[in-house]
């Protein structure tokens, strides 16, 4: 079976984790700090905070903004549910804005209209879908006059660049950026995530929130009488100053992350090469078109989505996916629009104002893409897809 995505683990990764397991600390040690420093250096941000998942990172990022209760936060309906769940976790309200047909990123023209007309909007969480960065400079210009905060959901986009060449995560046009290290992402730590920022205040706040709300760095103690004995700082003393969480990454995960990070540029190069091959070999297949076909130079290419017009092909998506699986090709759909999920339906969200998201969902199909995908496997993917489409047309 050729899966739609897969991690790339080599002997150096195994040895890095084994060495950490055998000789070093397992949690809250120097390897996490090394991983954070390496990520910050790679993306060009001042600070990086490792967390247990990108979901945890989004949650903490929203919390760290300390927005007024029940604020509205704009985000995309074409994303994993974590993007908007993080808003709900913090007792705020998601405001879903439709996507652009060409990029499947949030439509910034619609975002501008919403910001202008809706005084309850306090932040935006743009999603860099499939690894293609949103136009962050444009979004920042739209948001600045209204004091709107920006958190980049870059779960798909480690290794991607903006048009000016700077890396996603540099936070030049945002307050924070959140990455994912799930196994199918650009690099993996098993599970895990990272928040980057250029704000020292946010950095301190995020460190505190990820570890039970306990004071970190140079946070001053609030209970001066408890913290000192005869004017001397009590060496055992610490304070819980916020209601935080245990969202820490382990040293073992960080060891794997450091090892993987050394091959990130190679991974991205491999993904871009395979995307270029797909784009060439999809030409001429009726009723099939790639998504984001002009983004290769800057995208991290987390996934390779295509659009299929199933009705004229006289085949359903379920039948096509099942038939491909029977022939050894795994596919997926990224994503079911968030507002279609029963939980969000119960909250009163709908799909009526999101026609492009719904149109994309009806046609979406994700083909296999990962660094170790072989050319012979890509040929098999395209061959089987063509065969099934040809058979459906002959009926």
Q: Six-digit token pair at 379? A: 């040929």
Classify burial at 172, counting beta carbons within 10 Å of its beta carbon; exposed 0-12, middle 13-18, buried 19 or more: middle
The answer, yes or no, to whether residue 295 has pLDDT greater than 80, is no
So what's the pLDDT on residue 294? 81
So what's the pLDDT on residue 259? 98
- pLDDT tens readout for residues 160-192: 999 999 999 999 999 999 999 999 999 999 999
So what's the pLDDT on residue 293? 87
So what's the pLDDT on residue 74? 98
The alpha carbon of residue 287 and the mean position of all alpha carbons in its chain are separated, in whole angstroms, by 29
Q: How large is the greatest C-alpha to C-alpha distance in the chain, in angstroms?
A: 89
Across residues 146-152, what is the average pLDDT? 97
Across residues 49-58, what is the average pLDDT? 98
| Structure-token match 């870059």, residue found | 154
- Calculate ∠ Cα 87-118-80, nearest 5°: 30
So what's the pLDDT on residue 202? 98
CA separation for the pair 319, 200 (Å, rounded): 52
Is the CB of residue 389 less than 8 Å from the CB of residue 287? yes
So what's the pLDDT on residue 380? 98
So what's the pLDDT on residue 394? 62
| Structure-token match 């050729």, residue found | 2
Please provide the CATH number assigned to the domain covering 264-393.
3.90.1150.10
Q: List every span in the chain annotated with CATH 3.90.1150.10.
A: 264-393
CA separation for the pair 157, 153 (Å, rounded): 8
So what's the pLDDT on residue 140? 97
3-state secondary structure of 91: coil
- pLDDT tens readout for residues 212-254: 999 888 888 999 889 999 989 999 999 999 999 999 999 999 9
Is the CB of residue 35 less than 8 Å from the CB of residue 50? yes
The answer, yes or no, to whether residue 208 has pLDDT greater than 70, is yes
CA separation for the pair 201, 244 (Å, rounded): 16
Is the CB of residue 193 less than 8 Å from the CB of residue 175? no
Among residues of the chain, what percentage have pLDDT more than 70? 99
Q: Six-digit token pair at 54? A: 């990108």
So what's the pLDDT on residue 194? 99
Whether CATH 2.40.50.100 fits 11-261: no
Is the CB of residue 129 less than 8 Å from the CB of residue 100? no
So what's the pLDDT on residue 347? 98
| Structure-token match 């048009």, residue found | 163
So what's the pLDDT on residue 393? 67
Q: Classify residue 28 by its DSSP letter.
A: S
Q: List every span in the chain annotated with CATH 3.40.640.10.
A: 11-261
- pLDDT tens readout for residues 76-108: 999 999 999 999 999 999 999 999 999 999 999
Q: Classify residue 131 by its DSSP letter.
A: G
The answer, yes or no, to whether residue 267 has pLDDT greater than 80, is yes
The answer, yes or no, to whether residue 263 has pLDDT greater than 70, is yes
So what's the pLDDT on residue 395? 61
Across residues 331-343, what is the average pLDDT? 98
Q: What is the DSSP string of 272-325?
A: HHHHHHHHHHHTT-TTEEESSTT-TTT---S-EEEEE-HHHHT--HHHHHHHHH
Pairing mode of beta strands 228-229, 232-233: antiparallel
- pLDDT tens readout for residues 359-368: 999 999 999 9
CA separation for the pair 104, 98 (Å, rounded): 9
So what's the pLDDT on residue 226? 92
């Amino acid at each position: 079976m050729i899966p739609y995505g897969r991690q790339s683990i080599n002997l150096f990764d195994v040895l890095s984790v084994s060495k950490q397991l055998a000789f070093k600390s397992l949690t809250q040690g120097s390897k996490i700090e090394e991983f954070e420093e390496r990520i910050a250096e790679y993306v060009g941000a001042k600070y990086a905070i490792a967390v247990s998942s990108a979901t945890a990172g989004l949650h903490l990022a929203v919390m760290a903004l300390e927005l007024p209760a029940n604020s509205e936060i704009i985000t995309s309906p074409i994303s994993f549910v974590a993007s908007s769940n993080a808003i709900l976790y913090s007792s705020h309200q998601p405001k879903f804005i439709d996507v652009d047909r060409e990029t499947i990123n949030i439509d910034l023209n619609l975002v501008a209209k919403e910001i202008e007309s809706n005084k309850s909007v306090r932040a935006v969480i743009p999603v860099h879908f499939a690894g293609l960065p949103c136009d962050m400079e444009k979004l920042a210009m739209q948001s600045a006059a209204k004091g709107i905060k920006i958190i980049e959901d870059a779960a798909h986009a480690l290794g991607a660049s903006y048009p000016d060449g700077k890396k996603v995560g540099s936070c030049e046009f945002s307050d924070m950026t959140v990455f994912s290290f799930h196994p199918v992402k650009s690099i993996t730590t098993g599970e895990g995530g990272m928040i980057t920022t250029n704000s020292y205040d946010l950095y301190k706040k995020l460190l505190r929130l990820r570890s039970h709300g306990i004071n970190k760095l140079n946070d001053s103690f609030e209970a001066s009488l408890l913290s000192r004995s005869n004017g001397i700082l009590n060496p055992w003393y610490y304070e819980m100053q916020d209601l935080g969480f245990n969202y820490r990454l382990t040293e073992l995960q960080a060891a794997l992350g450091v090892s993987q990070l050394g091959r990130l540029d190679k991974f991205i190069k491999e993904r871009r090469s395979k995307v270029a091959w797909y784009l060439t070999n999809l030409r001429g297949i009726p009723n099939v078109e790639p998504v984001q076909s002009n983004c290769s130079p800057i995208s991290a290419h987390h996934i390779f989505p295509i659009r299929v017009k199933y009705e004229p092909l006289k085949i359903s998506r379920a039948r096509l996916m099942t038939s491909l699986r029977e022939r050894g090709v795994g596919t997926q759909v990224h994503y079911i629009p968030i507002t279609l999920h029963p939980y969000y339906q119960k909250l009163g969200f709908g799909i009526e104002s999101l026609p492009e998201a719904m149109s994309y969902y009806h046609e979406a199909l994700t083909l296999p893409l990962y660094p170790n995908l072989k050319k012979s496997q890509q040929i098999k993917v395209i061959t089987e897809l063509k065969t099934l489409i040809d058979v459906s047309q002959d009926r």
